[in-house]
Amino acid sequence: MRWTSTPRPRSTAWPATSPTTAPRSSSPPPSSRSSCGCATGSSCCTTGRSSASSPATRSPSTRSCDCPSGGRVSSSTAVAESPRATGPRRDSSRSDKLIDVVSRYGTIASLVACIAIFSLLKPDVFATSQNFFNILNQVSILGIIALGLTVALVQGLFDLSLAGMATLGGFLACKWLADGTIGSPAVAVIAVMALALVIGAFNGVVVAYGGVSAFIVTLAVGSILTGVVLGISDSQTILSGIPDGFLIMGQGEIGPVPAPVVFLAVVAIVLYVFLEQTQLGRHMYAIGGNAETARLSGIPVRRYALLALGISAACAALGGMIVAANLGVGRPQGVGDTYLLDSFAAAFIGASTLRPGRFHILGTVIGVLLIGVINNGLSIMGVETFWQYAVRGIILLLAVFAASFLVMRRR
């Protein structure tokens, strides 16, 4: 066997650490292992102080060892055997980071870009404070309905009864106030929202305990509500008898801020706190992530379907009442149909914002603002109405695709 360095005497292999070191034990201490598998305390491994090689010809950072097995290993070779990440791997990591940044902030960047473009094209009309509050007023009703829908979508429940519920809410409030059934506008609003909450909870009962898809149940209930409103109204619009205390919901202002915008802000704050800061909201997110796991964790999954669809229905009814107050009439049809597609578009746009693949309140607010800015900007530019509908459809398609893609990437 060939040694790379002159063996040290046994007495020098265990130097004293201090003058007061205790006597050595008769049993030798355990030897650590080098990267080649030899004991570092033996003379097999050297640290460059070998007498066989001169300092001029020896690399100061190289360690060599001839193991009994015949394999010669150096530390420089060991480093070379564990190279850094390869080029393709680094490129993949960079592309993943880029996709993550775009998915989180792409919608916000699109909103800023739309504002900048329309401001440059129509600076005297679009980029004004009056138009800013006008946009907020236009999207306030859509925002209220979309925020309620977001609560249902958090649990994976699609609520298609929004259109019928909004129409029912606006018409019933006007009818009860006009014929004197309820004298107080505030009581009328509370009564309508309570009725909507009950209807939404009924949808949840059928979905959770009947095992029927929420898509089918809410679609059927929405059709039933539309027929009920047409039946009790005899297809007649309520034009008079609506008190001013109710109309202020849609036509009043608090300083420079329209009243519908105030309602939107209140609903957004309440639902944000509910979903993000309460145990009920965290349970909803858990159910939406994996209902079976949530059930095994002790969460009453079925009960939360009643709550989610009830909140969605109540927000839709509130939006319908604001529409009726804004128009000053109680219409028996066509009130909520305008907001159904846009509410889903706003929610899905929000699902691809900040928290990719998850529905949340802040994202829905950003989606609502994006839709409002695009609609307002296209109207100011004089774009035909059919193109505006086409653009909204394209936005919804892209939003759904982006949200589905991000959910698959997370899995």
Does the residue 77 lie in any domain? no
Distances (CA, A) of 170 to 117, 124, 222, 351: 37, 36, 15, 29
Q: Which residues pair with 74 in a beta bridge?
A: 64
* Burial (CB count <10 Å: 0-12, 13-18, 19+), residue 86: exposed
385 contact partners, CB below 8 Å, separation of at least 6: none
DSSP state of 29: P
Asked whether the CA dihedral 328, 329, 330, 335 is positive or negative, the reply is: negative
Distances (CA, A) of 386 to 134, 374, 383, 389: 22, 14, 9, 5
Buried b (16+ CB within 10 A) or exposed e, 328-365: bbbbbbebbeebbebbbbbbbbbbbbbebbbbbbbbbb
Under the banding of pLDDT at 50, 70 and 90, the label for residue 65 is very low
Does the residue 252 lie in any domain? yes
Q: Do residues 310 and 161 lie in contact, with contact meaning Cβ atoms separated by under 8 Å?
A: no
Does residue 97 surpass a pLDDT of 60? yes
Query: Mean pLDDT over residues 250-255, rounded?
Result: 90
Tally of domains in the chain: 1
The predicted structure's pLDDT at residue 408: 67
Segment 142-153, tens digit of pLDDT: 999 999 999 999
Does the residue 9 lie in any domain? no
CA distance 145 to 330: 18
Under the banding of pLDDT at 50, 70 and 90, the label for residue 81 is very low
Does the residue 169 lie in any domain? yes
Under the banding of pLDDT at 50, 70 and 90, the label for residue 259 is very high
Domain of 311 in residue numbering reads as 129-410
Does the residue 2 lie in any domain? no
The predicted structure's pLDDT at residue 89: 58
Query: Mean pLDDT over residues 308-333, rounded?
Result: 94
CA distance 90 to 351: 28
**CATH number of the domain residue 354 falls in:** 1.10.3470
Query: Mean pLDDT over residues 342-350, rounded?
Result: 90
Does residue 193 surpass a pLDDT of 90? yes
Does the residue 235 lie in any domain? yes
Q: Residue 183 corresponds to which tokens in the numbers above?
A: 């004298």
Q: Do residues 188 and 197 lie in contact, with contact meaning Cβ atoms separated by under 8 Å?
A: no
The count of C-alpha atoms lying within 13 angstroms of the C-alpha of 288, restricted to the half-sphere facing its C-beta, is 23
Distances (CA, A) of 197 to 306, 309, 312, 384: 9, 8, 8, 38
Does the residue 99 lie in any domain? no
The predicted structure's pLDDT at residue 70: 45
**Phi, psi angle pair for 370, to nearest 5°:** -65, -45
The predicted structure's pLDDT at residue 73: 43
**Phi, psi angle pair for 332, to nearest 5°:** -85, -5
The count of C-alpha atoms lying within 13 angstroms of the C-alpha of 13, restricted to the half-sphere facing its C-beta, is 17
Under the banding of pLDDT at 50, 70 and 90, the label for residue 393 is confident
**Phi, psi angle pair for 23, to nearest 5°:** -60, 150
Q: Angle 161-166-172 (CA atoms, 0-180°, nearest 5)?
A: 120
Does the residue 71 lie in any domain? no
The predicted structure's pLDDT at residue 278: 93
Rounded to the nearest integer, the mean pLDDT of the chain is: 80
CA distance 322 to 332: 14
**Phi, psi angle pair for 210, to nearest 5°:** -95, -15
Under the banding of pLDDT at 50, 70 and 90, the label for residue 384 is confident
CA distance 136 to 108: 17
